[in-house]
Amino acid sequence: MSSIPFCEPCQRENNSSEAVSWCCDCMESLCQNCNNAHRINKITLSHTLKKIEDMPPDVSSNLTAQKYCPLHSDLIVDLYCAYHDALCCRSCMTEKHRGCDRMQSLDKVAKGIKHSPLLHTLTKDMEEDIQLLKKITQNRTENLKRLDKQKDDIQKSIAAIKQNIIDRLEALEHALLSELSTVHLLKSSNIEKQEEKISGLIEKVNEHKKELDYVKEYGSNSQVFITLHNLKTSTTEERKQIKVLIHSFKDINILHIHPKNQESYLTTLGTLTTKLDPCNQLSSDQKTKKDNYTLPLINSRPTTQISKKLETHTPIKNSTETGSFSGRLSKASNISTKSRYSKSSVDGCKPS
C-alpha cells in the first residue's frame, strides 16, 4: 500500500492502531490484535487474511467502490436477480424487480465463486485469447517478411528480364518497380494497421485479465461475482472482435506474371497482382469456441420477499415462554423466504 493504513475496527472505537493485515471477506484492514481475534472467532475463522505489506496500493478504495450500486450510490449491491441476470441493491429490487421470483442474496449466490467453473473458464478463455492474439501477431509478422522476400525475388526476376532487353526496357523497368513498391507499401500498410488493431485487443484483454486476477486474489466473493458479471459481456464482445479480425484477414502475396515471348513485348515487363489466402490455421482455433458464460446459481431458486415497516413506541410484553422482551422500537423489519419446499421467516428489531 502507498501509505500505512490504520485498523478500521479500531477506528470505529476512536482508536488509532497500525494495520498489519487485510481481510478479503470483510474488506477491512486489521491491527495485530484484531487480526488475532479474527483468526479465533468462529464467524471469521474461515476468512482470508493478507499481509498489509503484500497488498497493492489503494486496494481498499478500489474494492470498496465496486460494491456500491451505480444507480443508488449510497446503497450496497447485495442482491442478484437470476431472471434478469442483474446485480441490484434494495432500491433496485423495489423499483425494477418487485415482481421477480428469482431474487437471491449476493452473498449466497457468490459463495464459492472463486472456485467456480465460470471463473476458471473466463480466466482460461482470456489466457487463450492472449495466446491467440500473439499467434495472430506472429502470423502477420511472418506474412510481412514473406512479402519482403517476394519483393526481393520479383526484383531479381525483373532484373533478369532487363538484362535481355536492357536498351529498350529501362523506362518499363522503372515503371514496374515503382508499381511494385507502391503495392508493397499499400499491402504492408494494411498489415501494419491490422497489427495495431490486434495490439489494442491484446491490451484490452490483458487489462481485463489483470482486473480479474486482482479481484480474485484480494477481493471478496461478492466482488469476484460482480467482476465476473461485468467482464463476461466485455469478454464475449472481445472474442467476437477476434473472430471478425480472423475472418477478415487474408494472407497477402505479391505475384509477378511473366509475359510470353518477352523480347517482343516492349510495353511492359509484366504485371503485379496480389493473392489473398485464408488463414486456415487461425480460423480453426476459433471453430470450437462457445461464448456462453453462465453464472453459478443455487439450485432451489428461492423467491425472496423483503418488507420493511416503521413502528414507533410499540410495546412488547415480556414472556418467559417465548423469550420476548418489552420496550420501544424505532424500526422493525421482516424478512421471509419462500421456496418450493419450505418457508421460514426472520424478524429483527432495533431499539430506539
* Residue 302 pLDDT: 46
Q: Are strands 103-105 and 79-81 parallel, antiparallel or unpaired?
A: antiparallel
On whether both 118 and 208 belong to a single domain, the answer is: yes
Query: 282: closest CA among 143, 136, 169?
Result: 136
Grid coordinates in use for 85? 441476470
Q: Is 160 exposed, middle or buried (0-12, 13-18, 19+ CB in 10 A)?
A: exposed
Grid coordinates in use for 153? 525475388
* Residue 142 pLDDT: 92
On whether both 119 and 210 belong to a single domain, the answer is: yes
Give the count of domains, the chain: 4
On whether both 122 and 86 belong to a single domain, the answer is: no
Contact (CB, 8 A) for 236 and 123: no
243 secondary structure, DSSP code: H
Q: Which residues lie below 8 Å from residue 237, measured CB to CB, with a gap of 6+?
A: none
Contact (CB, 8 A) for 329 and 312: yes
On whether both 118 and 105 belong to a single domain, the answer is: no
Mean pLDDT taken over the chain: 77
On whether both 125 and 250 belong to a single domain, the answer is: yes
Query: 26: closest CA among 6, 44, 52, 4?
Result: 44
On whether both 83 and 27 belong to a single domain, the answer is: no
Q: Is residue 297 part of a domain?
A: no
SS3 call for 213: helix
Q: Is residue 207 part of a domain?
A: yes
Q: Is 45 exposed, middle or buried (0-12, 13-18, 19+ CB in 10 A)?
A: exposed
The pTM of the full predicted model, rounded to 2 decimals, is 0.44
Q: Is residue 1 part of a domain?
A: no
On whether both 40 and 99 belong to a single domain, the answer is: no
Q: Is residue 294 part of a domain?
A: no
* Residue 173 pLDDT: 75
Q: Is residue 292 part of a domain?
A: no
Q: Is residue 90 part of a domain?
A: yes
| CATH number of the domain residue 88 falls in | 3.30.160.60
On whether both 75 and 29 belong to a single domain, the answer is: no
Could you read off the pLDDT of 48-106 as tens digits, one per residue? 898 888 877 666 666 666 678 888 888 888 899 988 989 999 999 989 998 888 888 88
* Residue 192 pLDDT: 92
Q: What is the pLDDT along the chain (352 residues), one digit of tens a residue?
A: 446 688 889 998 898 889 899 888 888 889 999 999 998 898 888 888 988 888 776 666 666 666 788 888 888 888 999 889 899 999 999 899 988 888 888 888 888 888 888 889 999 999 999 999 999 999 999 999 999 999 999 999 888 877 777 777 678 778 888 999 999 999 999 999 989 999 999 999 999 999 999 988 888 899 889 989 889 888 999 899 899 888 888 888 988 887 776 666 567 778 888 888 888 767 666 655 666 676 666 544 444 444 333 333 333 333 333 333 333 333 333 333 333 333 333 333 333 3
On whether both 254 and 118 belong to a single domain, the answer is: yes
43 secondary structure, DSSP code: T
Backbone angles phi, psi at 200, to 5 degrees: -60, -40
Q: Is residue 31 part of a domain?
A: yes
Q: Are strands 303-309 and 79-81 parallel, antiparallel or unpaired?
A: unpaired
Grid coordinates in use for 222? 461478492
Q: Of 74, 92, 109, which residue constitutes the final position of a domain?
A: 109
CA distance to 24, 47, 214, 281, per residue, from 59 (Å): 10, 17, 9, 42
Grid coordinates in use for 337? 423466504
Instruction: Sheet containing 86-88: give its strands across.
Output: 86-88, 79-81, 103-105
Q: Is residue 60 part of a domain?
A: no
* Domain residue limits at 328: 303-351
Q: Of 226, 249, 284, which residue constitutes the final position of a domain?
A: 284
Contact (CB, 8 A) for 105 and 221: no
On whether both 27 and 164 belong to a single domain, the answer is: no
On whether both 82 and 208 belong to a single domain, the answer is: no
Q: Which long-range contacts (CB under 8 A, 24 or more apart) does 289-293 make?
A: 289/125, 289/239, 289/243, 291/235, 291/236, 291/239, 291/240, 293/118, 293/121, 293/122, 293/228, 293/232, 293/235, 293/236
On whether both 245 and 318 belong to a single domain, the answer is: no
